[in-house]
Chain A
Amino acid sequence: MNRHVKTDAARTLAQSHFRTPPGCGWRNIELLVPQRMRRAVAGPAVPILLQAQRVDARLEGVPSRLSPTRFRLCSQERHLPWLLDSAIGYEVSVEEETETVAGLALQGPTSFAILRDAGFSGVEQLKVFDLAEFAHDGATVTISRTGFTGDLGYELFVPAGKALSLWDRLMAAGELRGIRAIGYTALNRARLEAGLIVANADFTTAEHAIRADRLRMPDEIGLGFMIDLDKGHFNGRRAILEARTKKKLRHVLVGLEIEGNIPAEHAIVYYKKSQEVGLVSAAMWSPMAERNIALASLQRPYGDTIVDELWVEIYAMRELQYQKLMKKAKVVQRPFIKLDRRTANPPADF
């Protein structure tokens, strides 16, 4: 895939709006998240991990600090009842704004240039995770330098009634810069190259898992680094602590590089070609990395301390006949590609 600029509907997110009294700020949403939020004072959007009370990673979400007392949480699934229950004992009000606020992601190498040409002056000031408000069509658009592609990119939020005029404004400005709408397949490829995981694809969320053993701890899906056990109580803290001390972590999510060029989507991962140790949840031939990449969930210790002799079984469709391939897989670091332009300041023209 050519990393042209593209738009998508901000991952069809669910959005919730938080209001807290002055001075409470992040403290009031800290229960939700395992990481420390206090450093986030200037208003950037920081990816977070929300957790249910037990083992399971619940969802990923991105809260933005719109003002000292207003926050927006974008999450893949709707969680209003859970958020409302989480707000008990806190001075915070939560409202659903999924239907009233339109989200749009503008991602890719020319995304900055398009915003600038569309007249959003000052957008060059935004560093990664920063956000600011701009005028649009008699209303306000909030632009954050965020995205789900691992590329230079922005996410825009406007009142739903202004969505079409914003779309037209961007399309006009981007006409000569390769702007085009993309769907989920393209986004899915971009996020995989960036090594980002997707709920209910790479792990099953607590809300959706029917089988108790399908739930995952953050440590089991590569999000352990986000957890700060010293910050005080947060949802799931005890469960995480117990799993760590009692060594109850059974899975690990890894990036794989697989020999050959046949995508290993949903392939079974074997140890020494015979013992089943896991499953590939996303895979592709990456044109940018020029590697055959995959994300896989493995049963520890495979993928954790034992990383040799891992194989994947790929069924390659060749002219209406499956050919079974056993290919060697290597555990590699994510992201599979790292684009300097994502974080470059000021963002590059293109």
Chain B
Amino acid sequence: MTSSDLNWDAIVIGGGHNGLVAAATLARSGRAVLLLEAGNEVGGAARTEEFAPGFRVSTVAHLLNRLHPDVVKTLELERHGLTVEHGDFMPSVALSKDGPLTLHGAYGEVLTGASPSEQSAWKDLRAQLLRYAGVLKPFLSRRPPGLGGMSLAEMTGLGQTALALKRLGKEDMRDFLRVLLMNVYDLLDEQLSDDRLKGLLAFDATLGSHLGPRSPTSLLGLYYRLSGEIGGLAGAQVQPKGGMGAVVAAIRAAADKASVSVRPASPVAKVIVEKGRAVGVVTQGGETLRAKAVISAINPATTILELVGSREVDTGFVRKVKNIRMKGDAAKLHLALDRPPQFTGVDAADHKGRLVAAPSPDHVERAFNPSKYGEFSPEPVMEITLPSLADPSLAPSGACVLSAVVQYAPYALREGWATGKPRFLKAIMAQLETYAPGIGATVRHFELLTPADIEARYRMPGGHWHHGELQADQMLMSRPVSGWSGYDTPLEGLFLAGAGSHPGGGISGAPGFNAARHIIAMRA
């Protein structure tokens, strides 16, 4: 008997980390699950890949800061090889010509390099940010509340949030509501004075979105970042040993243990719809596979417009799906260096941290401005890691890997990326040179992935790592589209489980996990 004769309980489309989490969670409930991955290996944008001979890097996502504890616990990821120690927490270093400033521990438990008054202001602001992010945290992890016909569990969840809000106390609650949709720039101006610290926070708030620090609602991005936790601590970040591929390997091991059938190199051509119900898929190889449920952990627009087809859904839904904004602004740079670079003023330990080149909020804003008009930042801002320092297996002996997320690199570059890419690389290298003089001469190989490259290589439309802008109007009940936020679709039996669904992107596993739990609860 071949697998196509089987009637699967669930077919998961897409072997990114969310697809794997969904598949493993469903399989653990006793379901027969088949996972179809288009590429030759699973992991999607959470892979460790060789980009130059002997040099390996986490190719898209390179930091782990929000893997959901329920995912870790339910899938027993620690047993499957995922370990996070407190000592693994990476500091964040704000690079500046005035000398660096460092946030140690979980998002700056200790701040060094700043004046005593700034340290005290940061202590207050950090506590406030974490408190407010904590209120949003349940919202940003569970299935979003349905607006019609709420279940008891949903009501309870909402009630808990209301209670958390209440616990803030009157003054704090007022302030929470005041700043909720504010821009990060103004909030930072209210409370801090050090441009280096403000630049770092402004960068984090806008990382991965088409917003500048002065854009309304940009503070939400920072809350999203701080609603994540790793190793039990909110705001912490680690570089997994072996790169992001190691995290996926642990999830894959959990999936294998739960007897998920994983089939790489099996791109899906079509979701089969019969009488308004998704009943299976046809692969690009022409194989028909039937299942009681089809879970798409790929992009929502690709799922609906290409796999299902607009003919199976209403015009209004097609319109909503087509209107999901998902043009990425983040590029990824990988450098193979002859030797570890020396960032001016940064000590050896901090070189293993996250180095953020965003010297002031104005600088971030100015980097953003051209992207509105289809141009890249002439002085881009970036988040740099040197993963081979902590994990020498990633580079040949003595050499070094540099991995950086660079903004802003608009997906639809007006001049086109064919000519734009070399020019953008030059702009990036010029920035790097100011912080680490001499780095350019040590570059042995480079790889620059623009959003257009990320789209092509990782099947992420717009090259957007969230599979849809993570902004107020595309979050919560409106993610991926309003009215369909609970992982359901208008087609019975078809579910969405990727980053395009609530809560969004980043290596959290939350969309996949929530979708699987929703399906399990439905059939229980």
User: A residues within 8 Å of B by Cβ?
Assistant: 31, 52-54, 82, 85-86, 88-90, 233, 235-238, 241
- Judging by beta carbons under 8 Å apart, are B316 and A31 in contact? no
Interface of B is mostly: helix
Q: Quick check: is B319 within 8 A (CB to CB) of the other chain?
A: yes
Nearest chain B CB to A257's CB is how many angstroms away?
38
Nearest chain A CB to B492's CB is how many angstroms away?
9
- Give complex CA distance A189, B165 in Å: 60
- Judging by beta carbons under 8 Å apart, are B322 and A85 in contact? yes
Interface residues of B in 307-364 (CB under 8 A from A): 309-319, 322
Q: Quick check: is B443 within 8 A (CB to CB) of the other chain?
A: no
- Judging by beta carbons under 8 Å apart, are B315 and A85 in contact? yes
Contacts of B312 in A (CB 8 A): 233
Nearest chain B CB to A24's CB is how many angstroms away?
12
Residues of B within 8 A of A (CB-CB), count: 16
Nearest chain A CB to B454's CB is how many angstroms away?
25
User: B residues within 8 Å of A by Cβ?
Assistant: 273, 276, 305, 309-319, 322, 490
User: Which of the residues B276, B318, B490 comes within 8 Å of A88, measured between beta carbons?
Assistant: B318
User: Which of the residues A53, A82, A90 comes within 8 Å of B310, measured between beta carbons?
Assistant: A90
**26 residue pairs bridging A and B, Cβ less than 8 Å apart:** A31-B310, A31-B311, A52-B315, A52-B316, A53-B314, A53-B316, A53-B317, A54-B314, A82-B315, A85-B315, A85-B318, A85-B322, A86-B315, A86-B318, A88-B322, A89-B309, A89-B310, A89-B318, A90-B311, A233-B273, A233-B276, A233-B313, A235-B314, A235-B315, A236-B314, A241-B276
Contacts of B315 in A (CB 8 A): 31, 52-53, 82, 85-86, 235
Contacts of A235 in B (CB 8 A): 314-316
Contacts of B316 in A (CB 8 A): 52-54, 235
- Give complex CA distance A241, B311 in Å: 17
- Give complex CA distance A31, B318 in Å: 12
Contacts of B273 in A (CB 8 A): 233
- Give complex CA distance A53, B484 in Å: 13
| Nearest A-chain residue to B310, judged by Cβ | A89
Contacts of A82 in B (CB 8 A): 315
* 16 extra A-B contacts, CB within 8 A, seeds A52-B315, A54-B316, A89-B305: A31-B310, A31-B315, A85-B318, A85-B319, A85-B322, A89-B311, A89-B318, A90-B310, A90-B311, A233-B273, A233-B276, A233-B311, A237-B276, A238-B314, A238-B490, A241-B276
- Give complex CA distance A86, B313 in Å: 10
- Give complex CA distance A1, B482 in Å: 50
Nearest chain A CB to B276's CB is how many angstroms away?
6
Contacts of B309 in A (CB 8 A): 89
Contacts of A238 in B (CB 8 A): 276, 314, 490
| Nearest B-chain residue to A89, judged by Cβ | B310
Nearest chain A CB to B484's CB is how many angstroms away?
11
Nearest chain B CB to A84's CB is how many angstroms away?
10
Nearest chain A CB to B64's CB is how many angstroms away?
38
- Give complex CA distance A210, B305 in Å: 30
- Give complex CA distance A86, B322 in Å: 12
Most buried by A among B316, B317, B319, B322: B316
Nearest chain B CB to A56's CB is how many angstroms away?
10
Nearest chain A CB to B346's CB is how many angstroms away?
51
| Nearest B-chain residue to A27, judged by Cβ | B311
- Give complex CA distance A234, B319 in Å: 15
Nearest chain B CB to A140's CB is how many angstroms away?
32
Contacts of A89 in B (CB 8 A): 305, 309-311, 318
Contacts of A54 in B (CB 8 A): 314, 316
Contacts of A241 in B (CB 8 A): 276
Contacts of B311 in A (CB 8 A): 31, 89-90, 233
Given contacts A233-B276, A237-B276, A238-B490, contact A88 B310 (CB under 8 A): yes
Contacts of B490 in A (CB 8 A): 238
Contacts of A236 in B (CB 8 A): 314
- Give complex CA distance A237, B311 in Å: 12
- Give complex CA distance A52, B313 in Å: 11
- Give complex CA distance A321, B306 in Å: 66
- Give complex CA distance A52, B305 in Å: 18
- Give complex CA distance A90, B273 in Å: 17
| Nearest B-chain residue to A206, judged by Cβ | B316
- Give complex CA distance A31, B319 in Å: 14
8 shortest A-B CB distances, which residue pairs? Answer: A89-B310, A53-B316, A53-B314, A86-B315, A85-B319, A235-B314, A88-B310, A233-B312
Contacts of A90 in B (CB 8 A): 310-311
Nearest chain A CB to B39's CB is how many angstroms away?
26
Nearest chain A CB to B312's CB is how many angstroms away?
5
- Give complex CA distance A254, B322 in Å: 40
- Give complex CA distance A236, B273 in Å: 16
Contacts of B276 in A (CB 8 A): 233, 237-238, 241
Contacts of B310 in A (CB 8 A): 31, 88-90
- Give complex CA distance A89, B321 in Å: 13
Contacts of B313 in A (CB 8 A): 233
- Give complex CA distance A158, B319 in Å: 33
